[in-house]
Amino acid sequence: MYIEQAYKGLSEGWRYILGILGVLFVWQIIAAIPLIAALALKDGGMSAMISGDIGRMSLVLGSNLFLFLMLLTFAIALISIFVFVKYLHKQSLTSLTTSRKKVDFKRVWFAFFLWSAISVGFIFLDIWLSPEDYEFNFKPVPFIVLAIVAVFMIPLQTSMEEYFMRGYMMQGLGTMTKNKWFPLVFTSLLFGLLHIMNPEVEKLGYGILVFYIGTGFFLGIITLMDEGLELALGFHAANNLTTALLVTADWTAFQTDSLYRDISDPVLGWDILVPVLVVFPILLILFSKKYKWTNWKEKLAGKVVSREEFLNTEKEEIVQH
C-alpha cells in the first residue's frame, strides 16, 4: 500500500496543492538564484539564460560550474519537498519513500548497478559499432571535477524528480482520486512533458518524448508494483550518472567534460523505441521474478482504500504482532 502511506500524515487535498505549488516556486525561482547570479556576472550570460540556450550557458560559465549550479536547483528543491512533507503533512520520510518498515537500500543499489552495467554496455557497444560518431574527449582535470560534481549532485537531482513525481504527487493524487491508474498516468505523462524544453527535443523533434514518457511509465510501474521508490531511485541515478560521465553532445541537456563526445548528426529512429518496448519490459520481468510481484491489475489500476480502512488495517497488524 505505497500510495496509502500518505495516510500516516495529514493528507487533505489542499495540503498537496499547496505543497506542489511551494516546491515548484522553490525549484524554479528560489533555487535558481545562484545560477542566475553567476550568469549575470558573466558577459553574455543573461542573454544566454533568456534564450534558454543550455549550450551557451554552459560555455559562458564552464561546463562543470554550470552543471553544478543547475543540479543545485534540484538539490534545494529536494530539501523543500522534505520540509513540506515534515511540517505541512507531518509525514515521515520513510513513509514517503516506501511502504516497508524502513528504506531498503539493497533495492536502490541493485537497480543502480544493474542499470549502470546495462547503460555502460549499450554506450560502448554503440561506440564500437559506430566509432566515427564519437570523439575521445578525456581531459584529466576537468573529468575529475566532473566526476566529483556528478557523483555527489546527480543522485540529488534524480532523487528530487523521483520524490516529487513518483513520491509526493503519486501519493497526493492517489489519495485524492482514490485510484492508482490516474496518478500513474498523470505523473508519467508529466514526467515526459517536463523534458519538452530539453535541447534533445529541439534537435530530434517531439517523437523523442515517447522515450521520456515511456521512462516515466516504467518508473511509475516499478514504484507501484514494488510498493516503494527504492528501485526508481537507483535506476534514475544510474541512468543520468552514466550519461553525464561517458557521453556528451552539443544537443543534449547534460553538456559535460565526459569521456566521449557524440559528433554525429542525430536522427530520430526506431532505436528510440528499443528501451521502451524491449529493454524496460525485460527489466519488469526481471524485477517481478526477483521481488515476487503479483496482482498487477490491482496494484496498477486498483482502488486506493480510505484513510479509515488503512488505519484500521495498520492497527490490526500491530495487534497481531
Q: What is the pLDDT along the chain (321 residues), one digit of tens a residue?
A: 899 999 999 999 999 999 999 999 999 999 999 999 999 888 888 887 887 777 788 888 888 999 999 999 999 999 999 999 999 999 999 999 999 999 999 999 999 999 999 999 999 999 999 999 999 999 999 999 999 999 999 999 999 999 999 999 999 999 999 999 999 999 999 999 988 877 788 788 888 899 999 999 999 999 999 999 999 999 999 999 999 999 988 777 777 889 999 988 877 777 788 899 999 999 999 999 999 999 999 999 999 988 888 888 776 666 665
The pLDDT assigned to 321 comes to 59
* Predicted local confidence at residue 319, as pLDDT: 60
pTM: 0.93
- The reported pLDDT for the residue numbered 299 is 96
Residue 246's nearest CA partner among 147, 111, 145 is: 147
Cα separation, 2 vs 304, in Å, equals 10
Q: Tell me the three state secondary structure of residue 109.
A: helix
Nearest to 267 by CA among 192, 207, 216, 196: 207
Taken in order 272, 274, 279, 280, is the CA torsion positive or negative? positive
**161 to 12, 167, 178, 190: CA distances (angstroms):** 22, 9, 23, 11
Q: Where are the domains of the chain?
A: 3-309
Question: DSSP string spanning 234-273?
Answer: HHHHHHHHHHHHHEE-TTSS-----SEEE-S-----GGGH
pLDDT value of position 22 = 97
Return d(Cα 304, Cα 224) in angstroms, integer: 12
Neighbours of 195 (CB within 10 A): 17
Q: d(Cα 238, Cα 236) in Å, to the nearest integer?
A: 5
Backbone angles phi and psi of 98, in degrees to 5 = -155, 160
